[in-house]
Amino acid sequence: MGNLRSVQKAIEHVGGSAVVTSDSNVIANADKLILPGVGAFGDAMRELASRGLVEAIHAFIRTERPFFGICLGAQLLLERGFEGGEQPGLGIIPGSVVRFDLPPQYKVPHMGWNNVTARNDRTLMLRDIPDNSHFYFVHSYICQPSSPDDIWLEADYGGRFCAAIHRNNIFATQFHPEKSQSNGLQLLKNFVES
């Protein structure tokens, strides 16, 4: 759902090769997997299930090949989301996806550029990206992993929130690297070269 072509073009721009697919056999044989997404949590999970992709994503991640989730694709990794009532997620990362609970002066959705800082970075994924760099966000819901160890990057919008998740071979950003100019392209380049 959503930003497939812009992610594909960004990957190609940084020297990678990307195939847009809903074929579980193509996914099973991929070197790396990106799950982008824009839209509603429950609708996206139903779409993945109807295409037989839930198990394909689980199977891919179990192989420990690099996986990258973007925006809704990051949120879907968690156990549950609360957009339109409680909905089950992929259950790969323990935790929930909840709506921003902000002081009245903050608009939801959070839309625009925001600084991102590393909380737990044990990777080369941030190579050539200065800490406190800006990335582009468009979201009303945020990931709340159960373990603070799964929070890779943070941002502040009326309070600190999880801007990205990292666990083993999984990287997932709430922001859109494909829309985040040079820093976002560098992040995608680092993923392509990982």
Tell me the pLDDT tens digit for each residue of 59-117. Answer: 999 999 999 999 999 999 999 999 999 999 999 999 999 999 999 999 999 999 999 99
Q: Which tokens go with 97? A: 């996806």
Q: Which tokens go with 23? A: 């074929």
* Cβ 89 vs Cβ 80: under 8 Å: yes
Q: Which pLDDT value is given to residue 38?
A: 84
pTM assigned to the model = 0.95
**Mean of the pLDDT values across residues 172-188?**
97
**Containing H/E element for 151?**
strand 151-156
Half-sphere exposure of 39 (CA within 13 A, CB side): 15
CA dihedral 178, 19, 194, 126 (to 10 degrees): 10
**Mean of the pLDDT values across residues 35-56?**
94
pLDDT band at 121 (very low <50, low <70, confident <90, very high): confident
Q: What domains are there in the chain, each with its CATH number?
A: 4-192 (3.40.50.880)
* Low-confidence winner among 2-6, 30-34, 88-92 (lowest mean pLDDT): 2-6
pLDDT band at 2 (very low <50, low <70, confident <90, very high): low
List active site positions.
Answer: 71, 176, 178
- The answer, yes or no, to whether residue 1 has pLDDT greater than 90, is no
- The answer, yes or no, to whether residue 122 has pLDDT greater than 80, is no
Select from 70, 67, 89, 66 the least CA-distant residue to 78. 89
Q: Identify the three-state secondary structure at position 166.
A: strand
Backbone angles phi, psi at 75, to 5 degrees: -60, -40
H-assigned helices in 100-162: none
| Side-by-side strand order, sheet with 33-35 | 33-35, 67-70, 170-173, 160-167, 151-156, 110-118, 133-139
- The answer, yes or no, to whether residue 3 has pLDDT greater than 80, is no
Tens-digit pLDDT profile for residues 132-179: 999 999 999 999 999 999 999 999 999 999 999 999 999 999 999 999
* Cβ 146 vs Cβ 114: under 8 Å: no
Q: Which pLDDT value is given to residue 37?
A: 85
User: Hey, what amino acid is at 113?
Assistant: W
